[in-house]
Structure 1
């Protein structure tokens, strides 16, 4: 009873049903309230700076008044949660540590922190914004997470790092100056929607995941937009990436996924070259199989679509490939058909005709010829690319439309720009 009276005096307690609302005003009263609080209680943090590293071991609701700030003084994690169904909202969280080995984070979610809700907080720090491992169903919504742009990108923490997590829901967050915006490893059934990413490595980075969905996200000024690596059954749709350096979308050993209605534009590497393979790519398909790639736009990039190392078994149709320096790069030996059920893709450089007016070109489109492959395999021959003899050979090959050469063909190129759901 004495301890309860002391807590009431320190915090100012009101009772709502069986739960309590505890108002705290300084570091001491917050520390005491976290020790004494019971499941269902609400802690309201007055406008103040609360210094130190705090732990939540009960299913409570923590909310901050305007300006309520947790400051970890550049050591460890600001807030560590081990209880389920915790709610944290409206806090400023800053100055946690930068030791990535020990998972220093603004909020550290440890096993047991299932079904947490982290909403409307502002994070500024060097390590991970939010780190969670071995959890179920966390919701991370409407937060602002800013790392340190002065640190080399690979030495920063990720904005949101989730490992061995089922069904996370990540929505409407703004993330900048971190390593990856959202990093998922061994995760299943994630939902990542309406987030904005800037000035970081990858917007969303999937590793060994299954059954995920991402839509309506936007990545700007990043190394790569959406990296799908060693994963399966991802539905990536209606996302946008612009001003990336390495790629818009990466399918790396990722199978049975659906990439639909995304836009990857202005993917350009200032020091890259198509011949060396380090240019910017709208989409890079690397050893990926059985993926559906439809209704996307790949535009104004060094290379629109690049494919390598066994990425042939994918279906591509209804995409818009517009104004890239190199529309397609494929150096394999197979003959690939990029159309489906009589509908191909729209190519900005296609110069065929449509005599019957059905919206489909009368002759197949081959974005590369045999000389392109020669120059990619032997970059030292690049000086010959614009020679009169090479230009003549290219013209001759286009006129005869050889059918036995390897490479990409679109037998049903579309004659006009299409948007998702258009017929032809």
Structure 2
């Protein structure tokens, strides 16, 4: 008699047919599960890039070595110890609680590939060897179009160091150095050597050497950064055609140092509580210094009459063909200082308010500080405007004969505010006329020009 395939089940006997079906079903489930895992690990599928989650140091090294181009690697909470290399285009993203700890040796992340994105990473405790360029993130030559955004970097050495790359984007990072290390032994927050067309915006940098250091590059854009407790906030060396806007430097030795550079546009920036200078133009030419706020530059233990020991709001040193206009310069030991052949500059429409010494000029030429019939506003100008055109009827001489006398004999400076000295200064101003030597503003404005500003100032 022929039995049905199910008859053996009714007799509680082993059924080859059911066993075959069960095994086939199990294999299908395993195959489908494995397929889903493989799909989640494939890069650049129709639904987007590969996403890989890692949870330990060795897993991160393995994935960095094997992940396909365009992958996104996500760090789960935990500590990732040692040094890591990124040598192909990918995104490395940190989750809250994930920390890369370089254990005090070398650079934490070394990038040699282009089109890499590093975001939301917390990096700690990298090396401090400045000669070896130890950094939290180091970009090697050729790592172009890299984006570094919203990371938290805290340690010695450099924060971000890049050389011979282009089109770098550094945005919204927080970089903090070691406040216990001697200032000049710290690395810079951001150090860019021969980097062309970088964008550096929205970063907050403190207790490093220079906040942002740019050397031998072209076309940088530095916007909206907050830089404090440093040597120099923003430092240019041998650069061309740069722009800096809406930055704030505070509690620094110097705010913005422009050295041996050309074509820099420094506008709508602020510096306060600097020691040596607010803005320095050192052998720099064809720059535009406009609508900046420079306040409270004070050198501790300064020596009256010593140009290099007093805080200078703006310091022009051997710089030529620069336009300095619309700046607000207030409460500094010296408002603006000029030396070593810095006569060939346009200086007009600035406000000089309550600086202990408004102008310090070291030279023997007559230097005119007005342009097209408009000069600067001087809080200590004592002239009149009888025709009501808003321009003083008499010229302003910030460095007259009495000023130079008091520089030679600073111990007599207490006489500066006496009525007799004020009368002598007024007479000296009237008598010198067109033959005076030093800085002359032939068209001083009677009221402060409207301060041009940027909405980003208030946000800083």
Is residue 372 of structure 1 aligned with residue 403 of structure 2?
Answer: yes
Counterpart secondary structure, 2:59 = helix
Map 1:48-63 onto structure 2 (within 5 A): 48-63=78-93
Q: Which residue of 1 aligns with 2:379?
A: 348
- Whole-Å separation in 1 of the counterparts to 2:304 and 2:439: 17
Q: Which residue of 2 aligns with 1:3?
A: none
Alignment deviations for residues 34-58 of structure 1 (CA, whole Å, 9 cap, x no partner): 0001211110111111010000000
- Whole-Å separation in 1 of the counterparts to 2:100 and 2:204: 19
- Whole-Å separation in 2 of the counterparts to 1:320 and 1:309: 24
Counterpart secondary structure, 1:63 = strand
- Whole-Å separation in 2 of the counterparts to 1:147 and 1:385: 42
Q: Which has the larger radius of gyration?
A: 2
Q: Which residue of 2 aligns with 1:243?
A: 273
Counterpart secondary structure, 2:100 = strand
Q: Which moved more, 1:392-401 or 1:180-189?
A: 392-401
Question: Displacement of 1:382 after TM fit?
Answer: 2.2
Q: Which residue of 2 aligns with 1:27?
A: 57
Matching residue within 385, 400, 406 for 2:431: 400
Higher helix residue share: 2
Q: Which residue of 2 aligns with 1:411?
A: 442
Going from structure 1 to structure 2, the CA distance change for 1:257 and 1:196 (only over 3 Å counts) comes to same
Q: Which residue of 1 aligns with 2:18?
A: none
- Whole-Å separation in 1 of the counterparts to 2:383 and 2:434: 17
Alignment deviations for residues 126-179 of structure 1 (CA, whole Å, 9 cap, x no partner): 100000000011100000000011111110000000001100100000000000
Matching residue within 96, 101, 118 for 2:148: 118
Matching residue within 290, 293, 303 for 1:263: 293
Counterpart secondary structure, 2:230 = coil
User: Aligned residue pairs: how many?
Assistant: 413
TM-score under structure 2 normalisation? 0.86
Going from structure 1 to structure 2, the CA distance change for 1:305 and 1:286 (only over 3 Å counts) comes to same
Counterpart secondary structure, 2:97 = coil
Is residue 183 of structure 1 aligned with residue 213 of structure 2?
Answer: yes
Is residue 289 of structure 1 aligned with residue 320 of structure 2?
Answer: yes
Question: Displacement of 1:354 after TM fit?
Answer: 1.1
Map 1:20-169 onto structure 2 (within 5 A): 20-169=50-199
- Whole-Å separation in 2 of the counterparts to 1:117 and 1:160: 14
- The answer for unaligned runs of 5 or more in structure 1 is 1-5
- Whole-Å separation in 1 of the counterparts to 2:101 and 2:413: 59
Q: Is the 8 A contact 2:272 2:296 kept in 1?
A: yes
Alignment deviations for residues 170-202 of structure 1 (CA, whole Å, 9 cap, x no partner): 000000000000000101100000000000011
Q: Which residue of 2 aligns with 1:219?
A: 249
Q: Is the 8 A contact 1:67 1:91 kept in 2?
A: no
Is residue 172 of structure 1 aligned with residue 202 of structure 2?
Answer: yes
| Cα-Cα RMSD | 2.1
TM-score under structure 1 normalisation? 0.93
Matching residue within 311, 317, 323 for 2:342: 311
Is residue 192 of structure 1 aligned with residue 192 of structure 2?
Answer: no
Question: Displacement of 1:372 after TM fit?
Answer: 1.9
4+ residue runs over 3 A deviation = 12-16, 384-396
- Whole-Å separation in 2 of the counterparts to 1:303 and 1:127: 34
- Whole-Å separation in 1 of the counterparts to 2:433 and 2:350: 24
Alignment deviations for residues 325-377 of structure 1 (CA, whole Å, 9 cap, x no partner): 0000002111011010011111011111111111111111111211322443x
- The answer for unaligned runs of 5 or more in structure 2 is 1-33, 454-460
Matching residue within 372, 379, 384 for 2:412: 384
